[in-house]
Every structure is written in C-alpha cells, then in structure tokens.
Amino acid sequence: MNQDAELAALSSQASKFFKSYRFETIILLCFAPLVYLHFRNLWRYDHYQYFPLILLAFPYLVWNCRGTGPMRWTSPLWERGFAVTSLVLLAIATFFWSPNLAMLGAVFAVGSLLLTLRRGGKISQFLPLWFVLWFLVRLPGNLDITLIFSLQAWTSQAASLLLDALRIDHALLGNVIWAGPQSYFVEEACSGINSLFSLTALTAVALILNRRPPIHAILLLVAAVFWACVVNIIRVATLVLFNERWHIDLLEGTPHTLFGLILFLLAVAMLICTDQFLMMFHESEHVVELGRPQHPSTPANSPHNNIAADTNDSESSSPPRLREHRFAAILSPIFALLLLSQLYSCIAGTGRIASRNLQPSEIAFAATDLPTDLDGWTQTAFEVQTRDVVNYLGERSAVWTYQRDGNEVYVSVDYPFWHWHELIQCYQAQGQTLASREVLASDDELPAVVLAELTNISGQSSLLAFSLFRQSGIAMQPPPEASGFTAYAFTRIDNNLDTFFNRNEPTYQVQVLAPISNPTNAIAEDAILALHREVTQRIRSLVPIKAGGD
C-alpha cells in the first residue's frame, strides 16, 4: 500500500509539474528531431558513449535537488535570455541542419527551465545541474579529435619513460613503441580519451549527489582528468611489460577489455581518495552546495519559515498563473514553427539527405575499379581496410598494390573525411619523419598535389603524393605547411568556412606511397605524380556514381 501511495503521489506531482510548465515542456519537445539525430551521431564515437548515463541520471539529479531552502532571488531576465538564446540556436541549427548546434540550444532551453524552478524555490541549485548537461554537447571544430592526437603523443611519451624505469628495452617513434621485433601502436582508444570523458562526467554527477564547496568541486574535476591520464599511461606501459617480460597477451579480446575495466575502477578509487583528502581541509558541517550561497541558519519556529511555508502551500494549491509563464507562452509558437520546419525537412528529404552523413559510409571500391595495367604499372594486390569512424586514417581505405621495373607502390583511397586531411601527420604518428613537403598546383580542374619525402626508423625513404576532393569532385586546397601555427590557423579557418558552405559533403583522399628500397633504382618523382594524376582522374569520376547509387 505504501508503494502504491508513493507511486500515486509521484504521478500526481509529475502531472502538476507538466501542467504548470506546459509551455516550457512544449519548447523542449520542439528540439526532438535534431536532438535525436545528435544522439544517434554521438553514439558513433566511443568517447561519448557515456551520454545515456547523463540522460538517465538527470531527472533523478533534479529530483534530488528539490526543496525550497533559502530563497535566492534571480531576475527573470536570465531566464528570458536563456530562452531567446535557445530559440536563436535552434533557428540556426534548423537552417543549416546542425544537430550539435540544436543540442546546444536544448541545453540553454533546459537552463531556462532550471532558472525558473530555482527562482520559484522548486530546486535548491542551478549551476551544477546545468553544467552536467554540457557533457551532452560534442566539442566543436573536431576539437575532440585534436585532443585525441595530443593525448596519443603524451601517453606514448609518458609510457616510454615508465618503461625506461621498468628497464624494458624499447624505442619510441611517434606513437609506436618498438620492443625488439614487436611494435605497439598507441591507437585512438589507447589515448585515454574514453576514460577521460567518462570519468569527468561521472565526477560531475557525483558532485551533485554528494555536494561539495565550489573550490573542492573544481579541484575534483581537475583530479578526474589527472587520474584518467595517469591510469591510461600505466595501462599502456603494463600491456607492453606483460607481453615482453612474461609473455602474457593483454593486447586484445576479453583480457584487454577486463584489464581496461580494472584500471578504470582504479581511477575511480583514486578519485574517491582525492575527494577524502580534500575533505580534510573543511569541516563536514560547513559543506555547502555548489551554486547555493551560504545563509545564516533560521530557527524552525521563525516567522520567516512560516511565511515561506504558507507561500509555498498557497502556490502548490493554487492553479498555475499564466503571467508567470507569459514569456514561454509567447515563444512557444515560434518554437513550434521550427519543429514543423524540421519535420518538413525530414519528410521532404532535405533533413534525411543531410543526416545520411551520420551513418557509416556505404561506398565501397573493388579491385576492378582501377585497371590491372595502369601506365605501365601492373596491379598485384588489393585489400579493403575498415576502421573506427573517428580514426584519423579514415573510416575506410581501398589499397591497390602496383609494380613496375622492380619497384612497388601503394595506391590508396581513404574516406570519408569532412575537411582537409593532412596525411603527413598520420605517417609521423607512426614513426615516420618528414624530410620535405611541397604543394604542386594543378593546371586543370584536378586538385593540387602534396608531394613529400618521408624516412622511417631504418632510414628507408618513401615518396608520398596525395590530394583531396569533395564527393562532387570539387578540389580541396592544401595548407602551405604540414604543421606549425600557419598550418593550424589555415586549417581552422578553412574548416569553419567549409562547415558553413559544404557541411554535408564528405571528402576523399587519393594517395600514392612509393618506398625507395633501392636508391640506384629509385622511382622518379614525375612517375609518381603521373600515376597519382591518373588514379585521381579515375577515382574522382567514380565517387559521384557510387554515391548516387548508395
């Protein structure tokens, strides 16, 4: 009976809430189509697959923060500002069909509702609840991919230092750890990005459930980042140690997964220890909620408490007043029009076409897509490589092997990318060093070619020619340098403009790699460029046909 009564009370409270905040609820529902696409896209990235935890925990977090407490007056201008911001973001997201931007607008819309609840004394804190929602938004401008590259480099270097301390003979080249004949490549998943994002999100949720002072909370979030990185460095070094010293293979399969889970639990344990350490610097009775100001205690029989109680009772018993939700009522028809626009785009095909990029590429190449005899080169092998969607080498690669006059070259089509892809950085991450790089402009509609010379660990050189073009065949312009501030600024500006004008059109990369095994019989640069030109012409004409048949 008690459970039935509690369920009935909970149902009644939920009904009162949606009745009181019906206009705010309508506004949130207007984000549904694009937010659904956002979550579907977010699930493709391993380091964002914690987001269901946020979605499931958030209603309970709000419920856990319920209660009037000491009233803190806030101006309605903040709520209206958040609501207008969410409206503008949803309008821009609908026009450009940007699910991530729509999710950002939804965060501001929920923030407006939280501010309303906070001002009315329905919840005790706003900022921590709103902060948790930001974990549902993907970092803009592929900053998460850039972070993966940085973490790969830091993890590789730190793990190498740890292996030195453990007296494991090895060599570090880029993101590859060589121990004798065995090589260990620190891949994207080994960068620590998964545990970093997951542990930080878990910490943010725990801080709401176990309230801490602001400084304590900030330090704990920093500690979550620190322990995630430290544990991941230990993970990479331990994998090499176990395999080299005791011949225990933890590199793949179930042992690899269980080992990663154990280390993640270790990071959680270290985070709990850090929290207890920080608790030593303040008394437990002085712990206040993050986002709630400290107020002097008020006696239970104070007339102020009685007034607050009477006010809350009268508010809960009286019907919702429209003037308190007038601004939301004014905005809700505009949000409804944006919802109709999203639904129309989906039904008419515009939204469906735009959202196809959220799915893995279905374009496939075969050995017959390039001739067996190409400008004197004979095709000897063909393979298709499939990777994770966020792999910097591309989700898919079709690789042909050609031979001529005792020389062997590799012709590859890598795709899909969304902007310019600096292939040289991928080879550098695998231990190659860049000797030279030159951008060669094309005298016709073909893309400009980047010609580079690379050197591996044994001193063997290779010639690399690559270019990129859009699915429609439009050529991509390479940056003047492979790295440095100029290349970074060029890439950022170009990517932002590219996103604005060509958001829904992927890019394809054609590369020709020619290892120079015999310097006396080296392949001339002109031969590499001629082969690259011939392959680019054929692939460039095939891609729109294959995409049209998708």
Instruction: Answer yes or no: is pLDDT of 95 > 70.
Output: yes
Q: How does DSSP classify residue 31? A: T
pLDDT, residue 315, reads 42
Instruction: Answer yes or no: is pLDDT of 290 > 50.
Output: no
Tell me: the pLDDT tens digits for 404-420?
A: 988 999 999 999 887 88
Better-predicted residue by pLDDT, 220 or 291: 220
Tell me: the pLDDT tens digits for 436-454?
A: 999 998 877 889 999 999 9
Rg of the chain over Cα atoms, rounded to whole angstroms, equals: 29
The encoded tokens of residue 277 equal 């350490």
Of the candidates 469, 468, 449, 458, the one whose C-alpha atom is nearest the C-alpha of residue 525 is 449
Tell me: the pLDDT tens digits for 135-163?
A: 999 998 778 877 887 888 889 999 999 99
Better-predicted residue by pLDDT, 505 or 391: 505
pLDDT, residue 220, reads 96
pLDDT, residue 189, reads 60
Ramachandran angles phi, psi of 66, nearest 5°: -70, 165
Report d(CA 155, CA 186) in Å as an integer. Answer: 8
SS3 292: coil
Better-predicted residue by pLDDT, 525 or 293: 525
pLDDT, residue 491, reads 66
The H or E element containing residue 202 is: helix 193-209
SS3 439: strand
What does each C-alpha distance from 216 to 51, 133, 282, 410 come to in angstroms? Answer: 24, 20, 10, 55
CB atoms within 10 A of CB 96: 14
Better-predicted residue by pLDDT, 280 or 392: 280
What does each C-alpha distance from 520 to 86, 360, 528 come to in angstroms? Answer: 65, 44, 16
pLDDT, residue 490, reads 67
Better-predicted residue by pLDDT, 291 or 447: 447
pLDDT, residue 467, reads 96
Q: How does DSSP classify residue 71? A: -
Instruction: Report the chain's mean pLDDT, rounded to a whole number.
Output: 83
Which residues does 447 contact at the CB level (< 8 Å), separation at least 6? Answer: 467, 468, 469, 475, 476, 536
Report d(CA 321, CA 20) in Å as an integer. Answer: 8
The encoded tokens of residue 201 equal 């999100």
pLDDT band at 277 (very low <50, low <70, confident <90, very high): very high
DSSP per-residue string spanning 177-201:
EEETTEEEE--SGGGTHHHHHHHHH
Report d(CA 360, CA 381) in Å as an integer. Answer: 25
Under 8 Å between Cβ of 509 and 467:
yes
Which residues does 104 contact at the CB level (< 8 Å), separation at least 6? Answer: 89, 93, 137
Better-predicted residue by pLDDT, 37 or 181: 37
Report d(CA 262, CA 268) in Å as an integer. Answer: 10
State the virtual CA torsion across 384, 388, 393, 396 in degrees, nearest 10.
Answer: 30
Share of the chain above pLDDT 90, in %: 47
Better-predicted residue by pLDDT, 65 or 389: 65
Better-predicted residue by pLDDT, 322 or 301: 322
The encoded tokens of residue 325 equal 């939700």
pLDDT, residue 30, reads 96
pLDDT, residue 191, reads 66
The mean pLDDT value for 192-221 works out to 90
Tell me: the pLDDT tens digits for 463-514?
A: 999 999 998 888 988 887 766 666 666 666 666 566 555 556 889 999 999 9
Instruction: Answer yes or no: is pLDDT of 218 > 90.
Output: yes
CB atoms within 10 A of CB 74: 14
Better-predicted residue by pLDDT, 114 or 75: 114
Tell me: the pLDDT tens digits for 26-82?
A: 999 999 999 999 999 888 888 899 999 999 999 999 988 886 654 555 678 899 999
Instruction: Answer yes or no: is pLDDT of 384 > 70.
Output: yes
Question: Which of 45-49, 197-201, 294-298 comes out lowest in average pLDDT?
Answer: 294-298
Under 8 Å between Cβ of 220 and 203:
yes
Question: Which of 7-21, 222-236, 242-256 comes out lowest in average pLDDT?
Answer: 7-21
The H or E element containing residue 249 is: none
pLDDT, residue 71, reads 52
The encoded tokens of residue 104 equal 């950002």
